Amino acid sequence: MLENKIYSMLSLCQRAGKLCSGSFTCEKAIKNGKCKVLIIAEDVTGNTKPDFENMCKYYKVPMYTFSSKEKLGKYIGKSERAVVGIMDNNFATKIEGMLKQV
């Protein structure tokens, strides 16, 4: 139930233009200080997760592991996405609160 609310919020965030997705775009948003919360898929491969963990730690961006690449992409209306970033404080606060409960 709570997962569905998170997906709905991510979808709304995407439609509002306050979501970045994909490794390159999210990395750029983190380094520019635009990304407020980062969500990484549970099924990422290779160095993706350690790279983003280090980057988020350095730039002080909260990072959460949630869902699969397929579902993250599906609910934001795109193909598979390993990483999504929320770039709005209000959306970030709401989604982060829900992610802490999952």
DSSP reduced 3-state for 84: strand
- Its pTM stands at 0.94
Distance from C-alpha of 4 to C-alpha of 53, rounded to nearest angstrom: 25
Burial class of residue 84 in the structure, from the number of CB atoms within 10 Å of its CB (0-12 exposed, 13-18 middle, 19+ buried): buried
Which helix (H) or strand (E) covers residue 85, if one does? strand 83-86
Regarding beta strands 19-21 and 63-65, do their DSSP bridges make them parallel or antiparallel, or are they unpaired? unpaired
What is the chain's pLDDT, residue by residue, as a tens digit (102 residues)?
899 999 999 999 999 999 999 999 999 999 999 999 999 999 999 899 999 999 999 999 999 999 999 999 999 999 999 999 999 999 999 999 999 998
* CATH, range 2-101: 3.30.1330.30
